[in-house]
Amino acid sequence: MADPARILLPFDDELVTIPEGGEVLYIRPPAFLPQGFADFPHIVCEQGFKPFSDRLTLENLTVVPEASGEFPMVLLALTRSRAENMANFARACRMVSTGGQVVVSGDKTDGIDSMLKAVKKVYEVDGVLSKSHGKVFWLTPNAAAPEAWEAAVQPKQNAFGYLTAPGMFSPEKIDVGSEMLTAYFDKSIKGAVADIGSGWGYLAKNVLEKCERLTSLDLFEAEYAALEASKVNITDERAAFHWADVTAMDKPAEPYHTVICNPPFHQGRTADPAIGVSFIAAAARIMKPSGQFLMVANRQLPYESAMEMYFKSWEILEQDRAFKIIRARRPLKRQA
Ligand SMILES: C[S@@+](CC[C@H](N)C(=O)[O-])C[C@H]1O[C@@H](n2cnc3c(N)ncnc32)[C@H](O)[C@@H]1O
């Protein structure tokens, strides 16, 4: 959400009042709440993305990955997944107390206009304001939202037998780059292994199936729902699951022999190679000096200088028009 203060507009203009007492639920808030939220009695943040959740927790806010219960008011910020937004709206209507209001804010690029259109077919909307290439609207729901809105994000088995849901990385088909990386899952992989940014578990499941000498696999994923799906997709006892921000990982007591990764390269809608660079730095921090880091990336992403910075030795094992596979060894000590 480009403008985190937009959701406060109807409160600033005295069109909506903060409920007296009770908790206000805020679904998918941004990492930083603007100053105006200081006037709210108690906010419960539902945030399944660990870096944002950690940031909000630092502000002493109550943060949960999945909220339940009833709230006198529910606020909702849109993400870039339309299906997730409609489902969150339906949940907001389900969790708000009778007579309570739901306030929704989103950018045009996140589909606020089409959502408002769909909502108006079912509910009477109390008000709408526009600001910063987006809108905020509010309503007092008097009935449940159409069942299909929540049903659309229920995890389902995809055509390849994996449990996934809209909003996760490549939910319907196996990512071509990830598939390309699995060709390098061979007997060089042994001992303790980490999959950083593990999504719903495609790389993890493959490395477990192909590498008998692997003794343990730690999956690290920031999106709570994707991590939960991976727990269903992977039943191998060598696997352990961590809801974690990879970019904030410290050097572990027992570093990993191999780290595997298809790094994220988006923050919201914007391509941001800096996230991939943070993943490369994290891999160097958490692996053994004698270990290896195996990564796939979109070919045009400029990760070579990061490899130089964090590893003494690295090579491109393969590249085609879309992807490159990189193996790095000997993490540089200054990164430890
Ligand atoms: C390109 S996807 C790869 C998913 C999976 N490994 C695969 O190959 O299908 C990158 C994953 O990193 C996750 N991610 C993004 N930022 C993260 C962070 N700071 N810490 C941990 N995971 C993160 C995303 O949610 C996404 O699931």
C-alpha 246: how far from chain center: 12
- Identify the residue whose C-alpha is closest to ligand 1 atom 19: 245
Considering 151, 168, 184, which residue would you say is the last residue of a domain? Answer: 151
> Could you say which of 116, 151, 186 is where a domain stops?
151
Is there a single domain that holds both residue 284 and residue 331?
A: yes
Tens digits of per-residue pLDDT, 160-197? 999 999 999 999 999 999 999 999 999 999 999 999 99
Indicate whether residue 225 lines ligand 1 (CB < 6 A). Answer: no
pTM of the predicted model, to two decimals? Answer: 0.94
Q: Is the beta carbon of 115 within 6 A of some atom in ligand 1?
A: no
Residue 1 lies in a domain: no
Give residue 326's identity as a one-letter amino acid code.
I
Asked if 83 and 179 sit in the same domain, the reply is: no
pLDDT at 252: 95
pLDDT score of 1: 60
**Nearest alpha carbon, ligand 1 atom 3:** 262
The verdict on the CB of residue 226 being under 6 Å from ligand 1 is yes
Q: Does one domain contain both 101 and 178?
A: no
Residue 269: pLDDT above 60? no
Residue 104 DSSP SS3? strand
Point out the domain boundary residue: 95, 118, 151.
151
Report the C-alpha gap between 65 and 45 in whole angstroms. Answer: 8
Give me the domain span that covers residue 94.
6-151
* Residue among 102, 96, 149, 107 at smallest CA distance from 126: 102
- For the cut 80, the answer to whether the pLDDT of residue 271 exceeds it is no
CB distance 81 to ligand 1 below 6 Å: no
In this predicted structure, what is the pLDDT of residue 268? 59
Q: Is the CB of 198 under 6 A from ligand 1?
A: yes
Q: Is 52 in the pocket of ligand 1 (CB under 6 A)?
A: no
Regarding whether 125 and 86 lie in a shared domain, the answer is yes
Q: What is the mean pLDDT of residues 283-301?
A: 96
CA distance 53 to 317: 36
Instruction: Identify the pLDDT of residue 21.
Output: 80
* Ligand 1 site-directed mutation target among 173, 193, 262, most atoms within 8 Å of CB: 262
**pLDDT digit string, tens, across residues 314-331:** 999 999 999 999 999 999
The CATH number given to whatever domain includes residue 211 is: 3.40.50.150
Q: What is the mean pLDDT of residues 132-137?
A: 95
The count of domains in the chain is 2
